[in-house]
A and B are shown apart, each in its own frame.
Chain A
């Protein structure tokens, strides 16, 4: 009996609250990432929060619901895309003469669009960490799922 409810997700209250809050969590992750060069946080923290929002959905609605919505194949691709983006930003530094050189210009301090390459790198790291952590979480869940079926 317990297993059955587990597969269908949690109660209605949790589902409703999740529906309301999950977008806010994603928004918070984006905020943390974009302000990484001004306030504490950055790509890694933002990515972890992003992954946690997905994990939140999986726990509330059950993994079958989530697996129906999108395929697992897309996650490693997005993750690698994040890594590739970071590498490309680093390689763009060769224009300025050196690997990892800041070629975007520094800008005015305390503005949102300042500190050059740090913001794009933060976005890349967010993609990498968020989707990487989420795909690792899904893999761990799917192991258990296979085990229960036996």
Chain B
């Protein structure tokens, strides 16, 4: 059943490419139908994991046994990632039914979208290092071309920048895969973990070199601060649904998921690597939010805030304690939902007002009730106001910092949370609660069209998720979903035992 996560989007991409010109609505219907199926299957996977009391489901492609063939592995962590990827992409593709009308070629958009989705699903389900690389490239190449989808000069420039940095990252990852293969003679993650566990001590230095290469590569993909320069250009330039996909799930799947999988489950990494991840997290938290403070372009502001929240996730993971990892994973899930919601609201502002400059969107305060509501919920949620989901995950990360006696990190986490609140208060104030700053313009009533039904539907859906994802923290549900997910990372080498046991 696991290959369906790759088969369905690929199939839908090819079918849309062949028959897309027959009917105008073919792409819409087929892509959304596929997405509904994928959401259903991803929930089914989690249900199967739970009902059979398994730690992981494995699948041998082509019937070849474990160390030889390509293995697909889904444990609780990947199952949660699959659910969040497919859920967000379902809402985004529903949203793009109406939003993408203004672009010329919707068929090609859906083809690239589906290819990107299949790449991300493939990264999450595969338990094989080279397979991860291939799917990562599938997702990246489609995202490069989706960033350049509007073919205006800014979009092309941003896409070229993203392309160059992305290829440097992939080259580093490929180089490290070659080095790993040269002394492990295997590409299966579980098998590599077994082999490296038995390596003599003098080869550990080489392991560290490989890990540094991998961390740099994945950090470029996920835009952690020293390598972040492509993100604030690429994410605002893309069409809004694609920004939501990129910022919501792509940087997390390609960057953070793979990085955590490799540093926790494959390599025996010492305290110093965790310290590196931890400091990367702190630096990008601070830098992202401070630059976001003085942005006036709504989408650029969201992009910088994304960088800061990737820092939160890395901070939680870099603590290395079970509670920290749990907080990191939970914040990853929450931030996917919140950030895609916020990017979708930016898209609907752009749709009805034609601008995303915060100073100019102010005069239209009461005309877009749903967008306003969604923006309010998203802003409160991302800045960690109690009933919403962002609060709980930040709280767990801060508690984990205090527990592991890293008071400085806890202090920085609280500070960044407060700064984020101020950033989004600025957004709400400029966006909805203030008369126009530019004199004489506010009297002119611009004809504002309200957003269509499908855009409202997906924004409301994501906003509801924002409200209700907080329930994941209640002990009964946490023990079923989040604790096993963080457990599989915290147990490190036992991952390989679990995978080999299941073959």
Q: Which positions in A face B, CB cutoff 8 Å? A: 73, 76-77, 79-81, 83-84, 87, 90-91, 93, 96-102
A99-B61, A100-B61 known; A91 and B7 CB under 8 Å?
A: yes
* Contact A99 B17, beta carbon cutoff 8 Å: no
B10 at the interface (CB under 8 A from A): yes
For the complex, what is the distance from the CA of A98 to the CA of B71, rounded to whole Å?
12
Task: Decide if the interface of chain B is mainly helix, strand, loop or mixed.
Answer: helix
Q: Which residues on the B side are within 8 Å of A98 (C-beta)?
A: 59-63
CA of A84 to CA of B62 in the docked complex: distance in angstroms? 18
Cα separation A83 to B17 with both chains bound (whole Å): 10
Chain B neighbourhood of A102, CB < 8 A: 62
Q: A73-B21, A91-B7 are in contact. Are A84 and B61 (CB under 8 A)?
A: no
Say if the beta carbon of B18 comes within 8 Å of chain A: yes
Bound-state CA distance A70–B62 (Å) is 39
Q: How many angstroms between the C-alpha atoms of A91 and B14 in the bound complex? A: 14
The CA-CA distance from A79 to B59 in the complex, in Å, is 29
A sample of 29 inter-chain contacts (CB < 8 A) reads A73-B21, A77-B17, A77-B18, A80-B13, A80-B15, A80-B17, A80-B18, A81-B18, A83-B14, A84-B15, A84-B18, A87-B7, A87-B10, A87-B11, A87-B14, A91-B7, A93-B62, A96-B63, A97-B63, A98-B59, A98-B60, A98-B61, A98-B62, A99-B3, A99-B59, A99-B61, A100-B61, A100-B62, A102-B62
Residue of B10, B13, B14, B21 with highest tally of chain A CB at under 10 A: B14
Give the chain A neighbours of B18 by CB distance below 8 A.
Answer: 77, 80-81, 84
| Chain B residues, CB < 8 A from A81 | 14, 18
Shortest B404–chain A CB gap in Å is 43
Q: How far is the CB of A88 from chain B (nearest CB, A)?
A: 9
In the complex, what distance in Å separates the CA atom of A138 from the CA atom of B213? 38
Contact A84 B7, CB 8 Å, known A96-B63, A97-B63, A98-B62: no
Q: Which residues of B, 1-38, contact A by the 8 Å Cβ criterion?
A: 3, 7, 10-11, 13-15, 17-18, 21
Closest to A82 in B: B14
> Apart from A79-B17, A99-B61, A100-B62, what 6 extra A-B contacts exist at CB < 8 Å?
A77-B17, A81-B18, A84-B14, A99-B62, A101-B62, A102-B62
Closest 5 CB pairs of A and B: A80-B17, A100-B62, A99-B3, A84-B14, A98-B63
Q: Which residues of A contact B11 (CB under 8 A)?
A: 84, 87
Quote the shortest CB–CB distance from A113 to chain B (angstroms). Answer: 20
A83-B10, A91-B7 known; A101 vs B15 contact (CB < 8 Å):
no
Q: Which residues of B40-62 are within 8 A (CB) of A?
A: 59-62
A77–B59 alpha-carbon span in the complex (Å)? 32
Nearest Cβ distance between residue B142 and chain A, in whole angstroms? Answer: 14
Q: Shortest distance in angstroms between B353's beta carbon and chain A's nearest beta carbon? A: 33
CA–CA, A96 and B60, complex, Å: 13
B15: chain A residues at CB < 8 Å are 80, 84
Nearest residue (CB) in B for A96 is B63
For the complex, give the distance between the alpha carbons of A113 and B68 in Å. 26
Q: Which residue of A lies closest to B111 (CB)?
A: A80
Taking CB atoms, residues of chain A closer than 8 Å to B10 are: 83, 87
Shortest Cβ distance from B4 into A: residue: A99
Enumerate chain B residues within 8 angstroms of A97, measured Cβ to Cβ: 63
Complex CA gap A84/B11 in Å reads 7
CB nearest to A100 among chain B residues = B62
Q: Write out, one digit per residue, whether chain B residues 340-381 have a CB within 8 A of any chain A CB (1) or not (0).
A: 000000000000000000000000000000000000000000
Closest residue to A102 on the B side, CB-wise?
B62
* Max chain A Cβ within 10 angstroms of own Cβ: one of B7, B13, B15, B62: B62
Expressed in whole angstroms, the minimum distance between the Cβ of B316 and any Cβ of chain A is: 35
Complex contact B17–A76 (CB within 8 A): yes
Nearest-CB residue, chain B, relative to A77: B18
**Taking CB as reference atom, which chain B residue is nearest A78?**
B18
User: Least Cβ distance of B440 to chain A in Å?
Assistant: 40
User: Separation in Å of the A140 CB from the closest CB of chain B?
Assistant: 14
Q: How far is the CB of B427 from chain A (nearest CB, A)?
A: 39
Q: How far is the CA of A75 from the CA of B202 in the complex (A)?
A: 55
Hey, what's the 0/1 contact readout for B156-168 against A, CB within 8 Å counting as 1? Answer: 0000000000000
The distance from the CB of B480 to the nearest CB of chain A, in whole angstroms, is 29
Please report the C-alpha to C-alpha distance between residue A60 and residue B317 in the assembled complex, in whole angstroms: 59
Q: How far is the CA of A100 from the CA of B61 in the complex (A)?
A: 6
For residue A93, which residues in chain B have a CB less than 8 angstroms away from its CB? 62
Q: Given A83-B10, A84-B11, does the pair A101, B63 have CB atoms closer than 8 Å?
A: yes
Contact of B14 (CB < 8 Å), options: A80, A99, A101: A80
Alpha-carbon distance A93/B69, docked complex (angstroms): 15
Max chain A Cβ within 10 angstroms of own Cβ: one of B7, B15, B18: B18
Considering the chains assembled together, what is the distance between the CA atoms of A91 and B21 in angstroms?
26
- With both beta carbons as reference points, the residue of chain A lying nearest to B108 in the complex is identified as A76
- Name the A residues within 8 Å of B63 (CB-CB): 96-98, 101
Residue of chain A at shortest CB distance from B2: A99
**Which residues on the B side are within 8 Å of A96 (C-beta)?**
63
**Which residue on chain B has the smallest CB distance to residue A73?**
B21
Cα–Cα, bound, A132→B17 (Å):
13
Shortest CB-to-CB span from B30 to chain A, Å, is 13
Q: Which A residue's beta carbon lies closest to that of B70?
A: A100
List of B residues within 8 angstroms of A99 by Cβ = 3, 7, 59, 61-62
Query: Could you say which residues of chain A place their CB within 8 Å of the CB of B59?
Result: 98-99
Q: Which of B250-303 contact A (CB under 8 A)?
A: none
> A73 CA to B60 CA in the complex, in Å?
38
Least CB separation from B11: chain A residue: A87
Determine the residue in chain A with the shortest Cβ distance to B15.
Answer: A84
Q: How far is the CA of A98 from the CA of B15 in the complex (A)?
A: 23
CB distance from A81 to the nearest CB of B (A): 6
Chain B residues with CB under 8 Å of A91's CB are 7
B17 contacts across to A, CB distance below 8 A: 76-77, 79-80
